A and B are shown apart, each in its own frame.
Chain A
């Protein structure tokens, strides 16, 4: 009898982790019927995989963890777009245990240290995978999977191309989704293990982002894609789908989702395509340089995948039942094989063979026994080991059962238990031996080379300098050089966000995306650190009493973004709306005035900008003089309104205005370098001057249009406000 190494606290936690999975077993399986397939003996191979998982996961996870901890693997998986189906990992293993208990082959007191270890590994991996939302499972998050960090989501958001049902991009994307899903089902022997979703992520009040990953498309671990997947250039593909008018209300631990209303093609309004694997620096955009290229890429991939589907189907239709059983069992069992790749310790013998201890039970696994035993284990929860005392009410169905057996606490006192299943034993397979070709983002590699590179590779965001930078750090340090550097890593390959850094808000991203789509990129930079609401209130202050479009034009934001902010600002008492013209409320004026020092404090303390400003003030005096001369003429010692009858007089003044503009231009350029949004004034001043020089004289000083003087006055007002100066009259 061994002395107990397991503590009470460990056992309490292990039983809790068992129960969390147990409740989900029933919930996940209740809304699906037991798998029926004409090609594959699905239930039978599922049971087979459970047995293989029970005998093989413990030694293989220890082998993996000898190189890399579960939590570090979780970091890699999260950043590399690698999904390990959360429920499958512990439940395949624990359901194998449940089968063996029902057969009397093991006792619930056997393999205790194995189970404690496997669940602890699972817990640490899951917590790391879910690091950005603090949950253990999607279930714990109310069936939601918010996995990715802000910087990645901003890139997905910014770079997604708008599309509408019926347009070429939309059609190409839909065709790709359907074809690839079907291919994936076939690759994974009629299961959805190669297809999963996460999200939703909020894009706007009416839009959500759903991230759909397709895994194992090319020649990689499974022998049945040798040759078949040869022409598919990526092993993993990720489609970013922005949906509108459709709320993803459920995303479970199988990576399946539900939505209200039911997601249809018409709901998809923007789309992007990426690939990521254990050797890539996060998600690499595929065909994303232009809408046309993306459309063509989807079409090309669809054609390749259709050909591969037919080839694979013909291959599988010729398989013996034993081959089907092996392929399906290895697919299910292999749900965590990516751990071994990440750690660089993958071996074909570990992951593509059925352990001889599981192999013994193959003769039991006919179709009917498979369907009914699996049905009892995961659907009816009626196997003897699962039944509990009569007062028990199971979650979801109130039956006196629990899907997975606990460890009896009595082992703590008696020490009467066995630690584990022991080392890996030999394995068998009826499938052809896997070719030594593995498609990766660094080319097609031999396994030895693949492992070697995995061991050496550290994605940049997982380097020590960045590994522990999370949203809670970014929140308070987004304006630091480190945050900029950190965001720029993810932005490196972004079409729209390259080098934008850490200060962008979601509205900024949307604005950049909109302008990028119009191929008229707004030049913004420093201003990005300023919240849109502040900019809008600032615009209202400058315009005093104006419509949304005018406010938008002064702060260089899309009208839609300004409208959205104005609605919020009105609802929260910062801005008042009178017939769709807006002005600041008294509280709004105070809020705004108090914020300039927050956002422009550094600028005010700089040398260059205030210097440029004082030179502007000098020129401003000249401008005022010039405008006075424009508006009035001296007649007999008195100044009277200029009737603009003297064409030569007017032209002289317009020429002087041109000279003045040449003096102010370099100052503007200098100021724009610090506050890029000021470029709008430069543009407008040049436009007004041009008009005036074309003899449209109203463009000199008419207050009703954006004349030179109107724009100048607003620019001056703008500078005074954020520099905290008073107008000298």
Chain B
């Protein structure tokens, strides 16, 4: 079996993440085989036979093998799991009674003001007052399509997992507030809500919030800056459920 240039490496061995290493290892195995089969010198093989003998079918076979081993991918785009449910884990996108349950979400019992702490997030812009509204998960294009046709219900605080803002693009302006489970205050969604003047917390860690709950968002808190991210400063804004 032919040896690859990168098979000899004084400083590194394997990628950090298992799936990355699984694939990269399988591709290297494939290249070793095809190189050996070619019987050519590397410099001839690499821009010649390699183009035609390392094929899409070979790489499809690698994925098939990983799935056959029982692996299921973590989805991020809706289309991925929808088109290939057997290849992806269920992200609960269509579950009725969904709530984010982030392990690091801070929670506390009801305070004197009738507020129950249910999470935290990075405030995008400091506003004079906190925001009160109704929690509504917006996680699928079906939901957005529905809002497009019927209009967004009044006082909606949209809870989204998408830091890009594309999913909610056509209806974003109609939200009263946004809680986003990903991203930072420099993400696209943060930029957009800033331009529209909509209070927004990014990187929200939430627990136990269900569709229809009344929420108060501490958007009067300090906005989190790039410097805060770099220095790891603990700058956050609270999310309360109101009783």
Where the two chains meet, the residues of A that have a C-beta atom closer than 8 Å to any C-beta of B are 1-2, 30-33, 35-43, 101-110, 174, 177-178, 181-183, 185-186, 189-190, 192, 250, 256, 258, 262, 264-265, 309-310, 313-314, 316-317, 319-321, 324, 357, 359-364, 366-373, 375-376, 380, 382-390, 400, 416-418, 420-422, 425
- The interface residues of chain B lying within 8 Å CB-to-CB of A37 are 76-77, 162-164, 166-167
Instruction: Indicate if B110 sits at the interface (CB-CB under 8 A).
Output: no
Where the two chains meet, the residues of B that have a C-beta atom closer than 8 Å to any C-beta of A are 4-7, 9-17, 19-20, 23-24, 27-28, 31-32, 42-43, 46-47, 50-51, 54-56, 58-60, 62-63, 73-80, 83, 87-88, 125, 139-141, 144-145, 148, 160-167, 169-170, 172-173, 182-184, 186-188, 191-192, 194-197, 203, 223, 225-226, 229-230
Contact of B27 among A31, A104, A181, A183 (CB under 8 A): A104
- The interface residues of chain B lying within 8 Å CB-to-CB of A31 are 184, 186, 226, 229-230
B60 touches A262 (CB 8 A): no
- The interface residues of chain A lying within 8 Å CB-to-CB of B15 are 102, 373, 376, 382-384
B51 touches A36 (CB 8 A): no
Q: How far is the CB of B78 from chain A (nearest CB, A)?
A: 5
Contact of B166 among A190, A256, A320 (CB under 8 A): A190
Contact of A372 among B20, B50, B87, B230 (CB under 8 A): B20
Known A31-B230, A321-B80, A418-B46; contact A309-B20, beta-carbon cutoff 8 A = no
A39 touches B163 (CB 8 A): no
- The interface residues of chain A lying within 8 Å CB-to-CB of B12 are 383-387
Total A-B Cβ pairs within 8 A: 246
A105 touches B14 (CB 8 A): no
- The interface residues of chain B lying within 8 Å CB-to-CB of A357 are 51
A182 touches B192 (CB 8 A): yes
Contact of A39 among B62, B78, B145 (CB under 8 A): B78
B183 touches A36 (CB 8 A): yes
CA distance A108 to B4 in the complex (A): 11
- The interface residues of chain B lying within 8 Å CB-to-CB of A42 are 76-77, 164
Known A104-B28, A360-B56; contact A38-B191, beta-carbon cutoff 8 A = no
- The interface residues of chain A lying within 8 Å CB-to-CB of B43 are 1-2, 416-418
Known A321-B80, A367-B73; contact A104-B5, beta-carbon cutoff 8 A = yes
Q: How far is the CB of A294 from chain B (nearest CB, A)?
A: 18
B169 touches A309 (CB 8 A): yes
Q: Which 8 A-B pairs have the closest CB atoms?
A: A178-B195, A384-B12, A387-B12, A104-B28, A107-B5, A190-B164, A321-B79, A104-B4
Q: How far is the CB of A50 from chain B (nearest CB, A)?
A: 15
Known A190-B166, A367-B75; contact A317-B17, beta-carbon cutoff 8 A = no
CA distance A720 to B39 in the complex (A): 95
A317 touches B14 (CB 8 A): no
Q: How far is the CB of B71 from chain A (nearest CB, A)?
A: 9
A324 touches B165 (CB 8 A): no
- The interface residues of chain A lying within 8 Å CB-to-CB of B27 are 103-105, 364
Residue on A nearest B17 in the bound complex, by CB:
A372
Most buried by A among B47, B63, B141, B169: B169
B76 touches A367 (CB 8 A): yes
Known A310-B148, A369-B19; contact A418-B161, beta-carbon cutoff 8 A = no
Residue on B nearest A176 in the bound complex, by CB:
B195
A33 touches B183 (CB 8 A): yes
- The interface residues of chain B lying within 8 Å CB-to-CB of A417 are 43
Could you give 5 example pairs across A and B, Cβ below 8 Å?
Answer: A42-B164, A190-B188, A360-B54, A369-B20, A380-B16
- The interface residues of chain A lying within 8 Å CB-to-CB of B75 are 367-368
Q: How far is the CB of A419 from chain B (nearest CB, A)?
A: 9
Residue on B nearest A323 in the bound complex, by CB:
B79
Contact of A104 among B6, B83, B165, B167 (CB under 8 A): B6
Known A105-B27, A174-B195, A387-B12; contact A363-B184, beta-carbon cutoff 8 A = no
Known A32-B186, A190-B164, A321-B77; contact A107-B6, beta-carbon cutoff 8 A = yes
- The interface residues of chain A lying within 8 Å CB-to-CB of B23 are 364, 369, 373
Most buried by B among A360, A380, A387: A360
Q: How far is the CB of B21 from chain A (nearest CB, A)?
A: 9
A33 touches B79 (CB 8 A): no
Q: How far is the CB of A686 from chain B (nearest CB, A)?
A: 52
Contact of B20 among A109, A110, A373, A385 (CB under 8 A): A373
Q: How far is the CB of B186 from chain A (nearest CB, A)?
A: 6
CA distance A36 to B161 in the complex (A): 8
- The interface residues of chain B lying within 8 Å CB-to-CB of A174 are 195
Q: How far is the CB of A267 from chain B (nearest CB, A)?
A: 12
B170 touches A310 (CB 8 A): yes
B145 touches A317 (CB 8 A): yes
B229 touches A425 (CB 8 A): no
A104 touches B184 (CB 8 A): no
Having A33-B187, A367-B73, A387-B11, one finds 14 other A-B pairs with CB under 8 Å, namely A31-B226, A32-B184, A37-B163, A39-B79, A109-B5, A178-B173, A192-B188, A313-B170, A362-B59, A363-B60, A373-B24, A386-B12, A416-B43, A418-B43
CA distance A319 to B46 in the complex (A): 35
A40 touches B197 (CB 8 A): no
- The interface residues of chain A lying within 8 Å CB-to-CB of B76 are 36-38, 41-43, 367-368, 370-371
Residue on A nearest B55 in the bound complex, by CB:
A360
- The interface residues of chain A lying within 8 Å CB-to-CB of B196 are 178
Contact of A33 among B11, B32, B163, B223 (CB under 8 A): B163
Residue on A nearest B202 in the bound complex, by CB:
A33
Contact of B186 among A102, A256, A382, A400 (CB under 8 A): A256
- The interface residues of chain A lying within 8 Å CB-to-CB of B17 are 372-373, 375-376
Q: How far is the CB of A627 from chain B (nearest CB, A)?
A: 65
CA distance A309 to B43 in the complex (A): 49
- The interface residues of chain A lying within 8 Å CB-to-CB of B50 are 105
B11 touches A389 (CB 8 A): yes
Q: How far is the CB of B205 from chain A (nearest CB, A)?
A: 14
A185 touches B80 (CB 8 A): no
Contact of A108 among B5, B20, B74 (CB under 8 A): B5
A36 touches B164 (CB 8 A): yes
CA distance A106 to B27 in the complex (A): 12
Q: How far is the CB of A579 from chain B (nearest CB, A)?
A: 42
A363 touches B63 (CB 8 A): yes
Contact of A40 among B83, B148, B164 (CB under 8 A): B164
A319 touches B56 (CB 8 A): no
Q: How far is the CB of B151 from chain A (nearest CB, A)?
A: 13
- The interface residues of chain B lying within 8 Å CB-to-CB of A388 are 11
A363 touches B62 (CB 8 A): yes
Most buried by B among A189, A368, A373: A368
CA distance A265 to B195 in the complex (A): 7
Contact of A384 among B9, B31, B169 (CB under 8 A): B9
Contact of A262 among B5, B125, B160, B195 (CB under 8 A): B125
- The interface residues of chain B lying within 8 Å CB-to-CB of A370 are 76
CA distance A375 to B56 in the complex (A): 24
Residue on B nearest A316 in the bound complex, by CB:
B166
CA distance A683 to B181 in the complex (A): 67
Residue on A nearest B34 in the bound complex, by CB:
A105
A320 touches B11 (CB 8 A): no
CA distance A324 to B32 in the complex (A): 32
B80 touches A107 (CB 8 A): no
CA distance A418 to B46 in the complex (A): 8
CA distance A380 to B12 in the complex (A): 14
A36 touches B59 (CB 8 A): no
A185 touches B166 (CB 8 A): yes
Residue on A nearest B223 in the bound complex, by CB:
A262
Q: How far is the CB of B233 from chain A (nearest CB, A)?
A: 13
Residue on B nearest A263 in the bound complex, by CB:
B194
- The interface residues of chain A lying within 8 Å CB-to-CB of B225 are 258, 262
Residue on A nearest B191 in the bound complex, by CB:
A181
- The interface residues of chain A lying within 8 Å CB-to-CB of B58 are 360
CA distance A425 to B77 in the complex (A): 30
- The interface residues of chain A lying within 8 Å CB-to-CB of B28 are 103-104
A366 touches B16 (CB 8 A): no
- The interface residues of chain A lying within 8 Å CB-to-CB of B182 are 33, 36
Q: How far is the CB of B187 from chain A (nearest CB, A)?
A: 7
